[in-house]
Amino acid sequence: MAAIHSKPQLIKTLGSVPSRFGAPRKPTSLRCSAARPLHPRSYSITLLPGDGIGPEVVSVAKDILSVVGAHEGIEFFYNEMPMGGAALDAVGVPLPEETLAAAKQSDAVLLGAIGGYKWDGNEKPLKPETGLLQLRAGLGVFANLRPATVWPQLVDSSTLKKEVAEGVDLIVIRELTGGIYFGEPRGFGTNDKGEDFGFNTEIYSTFEIDRIARVAFEIARKRQSKLCSVDKANVLEASMLWRKRVNEIASEYSDVQLSHMYVDNAAMQLIRDPRQFDTIVTNNIFGDILSDEASIITGSIGMLPSASVSESGPGLFEPIHGSAPDIAGQDKANPLATVLSAAMLLRYGLGEENAARRIEAAVIETLNKGFRTSDIHSSGMVLVGCKRMGEEVLKSVDSQKPIVAVS
Ligand SMILES: NC(=O)c1ccc[n+]([C@@H]2O[C@H](COP(=O)([O-])OP(=O)(O)OC[C@H]3O[C@@H](n4cnc5c(N)ncnc54)[C@H](O)[C@@H]3O)[C@@H](O)[C@H]2O)c1
């Protein structure tokens, strides 16, 4: 799974290590610092700031990546390229060939957000969103990773009762390039009664299921080793094959506890008792819906990162929010979703677990100190803008001791 750990690395298995919230996690594989090369490890990162608040939040994440890199002996080379509305204005297409080429050649891609009122009326091929679809297709990213973490400091922002939301820390792994959104045949027709109909095809091959299942098992293994596969195997043939193949792949991961759940039950359970989930894997359409449902539990769009990865080649890391044109250019955006996307880039794109933890620990410390952008602000907290939030995270990064002492 080269895109999950795209660089060759020496791995050492440690005992119990602290999780983001201080509770011990299962034994985790980490890079062994004693075996690090003398020269800094170096990676090329394509930055796609995009539109609206995109450039503001990417700039913050870039500074934090650089400083974390300096602490961890990692060097980053950045290549900033136009994308979305910015690219439409500059060269007339939402994803210039040069941008896609640069993204493909790099180790990882960090995207801000694309879109805005200015391009809303464009024809489909000239919409900023079309560029994003082209980028995902061009990179061949078939696994979408959407964590939903209820930060203890922000638990009151959740739409659920505190006792239900507290401690939620799950990830939805959605198959991104197959299933009913792409299945053929699809289209419109007219039946013998002269009525119009529309139809789509839910279809999955063994290959498609096996590769997303392996991504999910690998990720579950790095978390609580609990994987729940969500399907509709009581009705849909595509889901029956899904369940059969996931069970088959499970034999390669005897350390991961696998369960299955029907999607209608999963939708209920996510609201009733979300803490029961650690890692969820599901198909494209169910994942689309469940990952949005899971994200709303956290209550704050400005805190939610995401990743899209393939088996080989660079992954795409981006906040789940859009370009927020209503607050663009006003230094009001919450940069933490992008900062946490940079942490995902380090963990899932480059295999740099310690550096990822450094970022997450700095975000926690910054929230603990009471700094809040307006989207997550509550009384008694210190209201800050996008830049100041970035500066406070940087201060926390600088004041950290090594996150995990690895010998
Ligand atoms: N992946 C992407 O780049 C992406 C995703 C969704 C929407 N979009 C595009 O973004 C544009 C705006 O879409 P929208 O308004 O539906 O969604 P949005 O996510 O941009 O904004 C929704 C609301 O959340 C707020 N918000 C979003 N991110 C925030 C942040 N980091 N900090 C503080 N507040 C934040 C906004 O101010 C707005 O009130 C549209 O053109 C849409 O197509 C792009």
pLDDT in tens, 280-295: 999 999 999 999 999 9
Query: What's the CA-to-centroid distance between 112 and ligand 1, angstroms?
Result: 11
Q: Which amino acid is at 284?
A: N
Count of CA atoms in the C-beta half-sphere (13 A) of 260: 16
What is the distance between the alpha carbons of residues 62 and 134, in angstroms, rounded to a whole number?
24
Atom of ligand 1 nearest to the CA of 117: 41
* Distance between CA atoms of residues 246 and 229, nearest Å: 8
Q: Is 51 a catalytic residue?
A: no
Q: What is the mean pLDDT of residues 363-384?
A: 95
What is the mean pLDDT of the segment spanning 49-72?
Answer: 97
Give 172-219 pLDDT, tens digit per residue.
999 999 999 999 999 999 999 999 999 999 999 999 999 999 999 999
Share of the chain above pLDDT 70, in %: 89
- Average model confidence (pLDDT) across the chain: 90
Helix (H, G, I), strand (E, B) or coil at 72: helix
Is 219 touching ligand 1 by the criterion CB < 6 Å? no
Q: What is the spatial distance between Cα 331 and Cα 42, in angstroms, rounded to a whole number?
A: 31
The DSSP annotation for 382-401 comes to: EE--HHHHHHHHHHHHHHPP
Rounded Cα gap, residues 403 and 357, in angstroms: 7
* Residue carrying the six token digits 């959605």: 174
pLDDT score recorded for residue 8 = 30
**Catalytic option among 26, 78, 181, 387:** 181
Q: What tokens were used for 265?
A: 């039950």
Q: What are the structure tokens assigned to 195, written together? A: 């009525």
31, pLDDT greater than 80: no
Sign of CA dihedral 182, 187, 191, 196: positive
At what angle are helices 353-368 and 336-344 packed, to 10 degrees? 160
288 has catalytic annotation: yes
Return the ligand 1 atom nearest residue 57 CA.
31
Q: Return the ligand 1 atom nearest residue 129 CA.
A: 43
- Model pTM score: 0.87
Question: Distance between CA 99 and CA 92 in Å, rounded?
Answer: 13
**What does the pLDDT average to over 151-158?**
91
Q: For residue 3, is pLDDT > 70?
A: no
Neighbours of 235 (CB within 10 A): 12
Residue 62 catalytic?
no
The residue that leads in pLDDT, 29 or 78, is 78
Per-residue model confidence (pLDDT) at position 97: 98
| pLDDT given for residue 9 in this prediction | 31
List of domains in the chain: 1-158+301-407 (3.40.718.10), 160-298 (3.40.718.10)
User: 181 catalytic, yes or no?
Assistant: yes
**Catalytic residue at 232?**
yes
Distance separating alpha carbons of residues 353 and 190, to the nearest angstrom: 55
Q: Is the CB of 301 under 6 A from ligand 1?
A: yes
**Band of the pLDDT at 300, cuts 50, 70, 90?**
confident
CB distance 241 to ligand 1 below 6 Å: no
Residue 101: other Cβ atoms inside 10 A: 13
CB of 292 within 6 A of ligand 1: the answer is no
pLDDT value, residue 18: 29
322 lines ligand 1 (CB under 6 A): yes
Is a pLDDT exceeding 50 seen at residue 96?
yes
Residue 185: asked if its preceding bond is cis (omega within 30°), the reply is yes
How many whole angstroms from 241 Cα to the centroid of ligand 1? 36
Which residue in the list 62, 222, 232, 332 is annotated as catalytic? Answer: 232
Choose which residue among 83, 320, 323 to substitute to test ligand 1 binding: the one with the highest number of ligand atoms within 8 A of its C-beta. 323
- State the catalytic residue, choosing from 273, 292, 326, 398: 292
Quote the CA–CA distance of 205 and 186 in Å, as a whole number.
17
Q: Which of 225, 231, 285 is nearest to 250 (CA)?
A: 225
